[in-house]
Amino acid sequence: MAALARMHKAEPYATGYPKGMRIAFLALAAAAALGAQEVSPCNNTPAYSTCELVFELSEAAAAKHPAPYRTVDMKVEFRSPRHRTLALPAYWDGGRRMVVRFAPTEAGDWAYRVAGNLPEFDGKTGNFTAAASPSPGFIHAENVHHWAYAERDARGLYQAHLWMGASEMRFAFEDDATFRAVADARAAQKFNHLRGAIGGEGADSAYQGPDAPNLAQFRRLDERIRYLNGKGITADLVLAADGAGLTRSFPSWEQRRRFLRYIVGRYAAMHVTWQGVQYFEDSADTRALLKEAGKVLKEVDGYQHPRTAGARVTSAPLLDDGWMDFAAYGNTDDQIGAIEHQLYGVPFVNLDCGREDSGAGKSAAGDVDTAALRKRLWNATMNGQSVTYANTGTGAQYANAPGAKQMTVWYDFFNDTRYWELEPYFDVDGGRALALEDTEYVVYVEKPGPLELVVEKHGYDIYWVNPIDGQFTKGKFKGDHFTGSPPDASHDWVLHVVREGRVEGMNKSYKFESRDIVLQEVESNSPKVPFTVEQPAADIHVRVSPPFAAKIIKETRATRSMMWLWTGEVSADGQGYRVLATGQQGVMRPLNGIAKNFPALMHLRAYGMNANGKVYAVDRAFGLEP
């Protein structure tokens, strides 16, 4: 993937949507909408705000389509002032009402054309003029592992997007007071993503049957996403808990496709991302199901909002299927994140750095205290991941937990860096680092002690930053080998090393070219690999977790500190690979879900990454017995 030619930071307001921006929500009777003499409801809509074309079915059309949700197939194709075409499906909004919700992506004269199986509307056209707005647009993956907004400024520069998320899985179903309290708190804390489920089953179902959307619930969700967007927060929409839940709710392919078109029709014109399921590993054949769903999302979402799947461990096994824009994590195992960052040219988002005990008590294994959450947050960042926060308890009384405030410290710190170019850096001892080499280095020191950092030979400003409150001390350093220790050993620290005199240059003039980020070629199954696999040594029984072990056969300074990742895949069953273990030796995780049919042949791969960031791999094949 080509890196950005140039890029700069967003405005201080988190996602670049101006506060108080007018969002246009207009309705239109079909006959009036399509008459050349009438004014379109999208006229004067600011770019990246929404408007609605509403089509009322005639008596004849309603008689032919008594269940419009199931049988009406309709879309509108929009032509931009720069002659780009964008198509969006219509969604049923009750009675005879079909709606196309649209957001222009630029100011100027637009034209549109209706297509579908309603003869009274098929082929009809219209025009409108969109207004300019200061919005930088929707986000997309850019610069290999990073994020940017869609629009360039007057200088032709992108605005970078510093993703900071929060999980509020039931935000679509909470009472209004609770939702608003949390949304207001997260906006004040500078979060710019809020993650939650829109579907679910039972009391949390947005459908009353496979082809019966709960319109009251969807209208409630409309308002909540509008509210989040108005506060500069993108809604990260989880469509189902897992594959089994998705197929229970929508048993047939046609029902699932209608559901996906419906969701895209209602929400693609808003600031959203798509997260197919919360945990892809939890049920068989979810990979194939998500590939099917991802293809639909890719086809019908004219804005191409970012797509992924949630995971217990990692959703990277799904990247080869071609529908995901980024990979997600449901754990904070640094060995998985650090190694996969070297393997895949996509952004990574950690969806579960752990839930902070905000005073409501711990109720699950992943619930941690504030200090543990902060350490997970900063280590995930050093792996090159965007981060997501969660806390126990609901409502305003828990929303302002200490960990949430420390997330704001994290955001403020990185918002003053060239975060969109920082990549994991390995010439450091005593900490973990990100760097834009020759310019800026960020080192996280989880356990205070002596630190050594190799840099390009220049003069540097040195900042020791307290990640708890953001307070810092400043110093200077000249040379190419920094050694030192944090100001005290009472907590973790962040060292920020910036080339002398370049802070203003980095953050205001934007004169540095973005570098090409070249993914390394993994050295595999060759004499250069410095280790070998000693265990497993024989075929594996799925019900017994086998031991694993790697042996270093070429001792070097770089191999004294290794990270390890063990994966297994049964290609014939198409479930995707599973992370079996991390570390040099131990016992593998249970192999549940890796295969459906036995006996099977499992491809085992052991990755080892040395202290210089070089990744090696050894492959083995083992039989799997039930």
**Amino acid 151: pLDDT:** 86
pLDDT in tens, 344-373: 999 999 999 889 999 899 988 889 999 999
Q: Is the pLDDT of residue 96 over 70?
A: yes
**Amino acid 24: pLDDT:** 35
Q: Is the pLDDT of residue 5 over 50?
A: no
**Amino acid 517: pLDDT:** 74
Percent of residues, the chain, with pLDDT higher than 70: 90
- Report all structural domains of the chain as residue ranges with CATH numbers, in order of start: 22-130 (2.60.40.10), 163-417 (3.20.20.80), 423-504 (2.60.40), 523-625 (2.60.40.10)
Q: How do strand 158-160 and strand 146-152 relate by DSSP bridges?
A: antiparallel
d(CA 265, CA 116): 14
**Residues 150, 153, 159: CA angle, nearest 5 degrees:** 50
Q: Is the pLDDT of residue 615 over 90?
A: yes
pLDDT in tens, 213-249: 999 999 999 999 999 999 999 999 999 999 999 999 9
Tell me phi and psi for residue 76, to 5 degrees.
-125, 130
Tell me phi and psi for residue 60, to 5 degrees.
-65, -45
d(CA 98, CA 75): 10
**Amino acid 38: pLDDT:** 56
Which run of H or E residues covers position 248? helix 243-249
pTM: 0.92
Worst-scoring range by mean pLDDT, 184-188, 200-204, 412-416? 200-204
**Amino acid 514: pLDDT:** 56
Beta strands in 198-260 (DSSP E): 234-240
CB atoms within 10 A of CB 516: 11
Residues 6+ away with beta carbon under 8 Å from 172: 196, 197, 198, 204, 206, 217, 220, 221, 224
> pLDDT higher for 405 or 40?
405
pLDDT in tens, 530-585: 999 999 999 999 888 999 999 999 999 999 999 999 999 999 999 999 999 999 99
Tell me the pLDDT band of 183, cut-offs 50, 70 and 90.
Answer: very high
**Amino acid 158: pLDDT:** 75
> pLDDT higher for 3 or 323?
323
Contact 151, 136 (CB under 8 A): yes
Tell me the pLDDT band of 66, cut-offs 50, 70 and 90.
Answer: very high
Tell me the pLDDT band of 153, cut-offs 50, 70 and 90.
Answer: confident
Residues 6+ away with beta carbon under 8 Å from 334: 379, 380, 382, 383, 563
Q: Is the pLDDT of residue 155 over 80?
A: no
Helix (H, G, I), strand (E, B) or coil at 104: coil
**Amino acid 436: pLDDT:** 93
Tell me phi and psi for residue 422, to 5 degrees.
-75, 135
Q: Is the pLDDT of residue 588 over 50?
A: yes
How does DSSP assign 403-460, residue by residue? Answer: HHHHHHHHHHHHTTTTGGG-EEE-SEESSEEEEETTTEEEEEESS-S-EEEEEEEEEE
**Amino acid 394: pLDDT:** 82
Determine the length of the chain: 626
**Amino acid 21: pLDDT:** 34
pLDDT in tens, 291-342: 999 999 999 999 999 999 999 999 999 999 999 999 999 999 999 999 999 9
